[in-house]
Amino acid sequence: MRIHSHTLTAHKADILAVMSRPAALDLYTLGCGLFLIGAPWLYGFAHTAGRVDAELVGAAVIALSIAGLVAFADWEEWLKVALGVWLIAAPWLLGFVHSSAMHVSIAIGIAVMFLSLLELWLAHDPDFADTTTT
């Protein structure tokens, strides 16, 4: 069986097109989600609300990041932005202000929000488009 070079070139172009989108940012938000799930044990969260919130939101961020790695869609990124906003507001809404859970929640919330907004911006920025496949 002989493989033609134009078939390999087309396949390589398809791979480059997929890799050119900012998928690395989904990996970073996946890491944030994993950190959120482990944070209650790493930092010994005293408040049950902070622990449960970190675990649930961490699992949601992980699920959305995996979905973003498989097939990018704007709605996944907007949901991660909403989760980031929730993480920032949660210490006051759930009552775990002035605790290690608050600091982790706000820091990871800012990171998730920033990474998701950056991915949305890069995905729709015409200057970021891959010019190697043309």
The tokens describing 96, both together, are 């775990």
Enter the DSSP assignment of 126: G
C-alpha–C-alpha distance, residues 37 and 55, integer Å: 5
Instruction: Yes or no: say if 26 and 73 are a contact pair by the CB < 8 Å rule.
Output: no
Residue count (the chain)? 134
Q: What pLDDT shows up at residue 134?
A: 46
Q: What pLDDT score was predicted for residue 22?
A: 63
For the chain (134 residues), the mean pLDDT of every run of 10, in chain order, is 54 52 86 97 93 97 95 92 98 96 97 96 78 48
pLDDT at 32 (0 to 100) = 98
Longest dimension (CA), the chain: 67
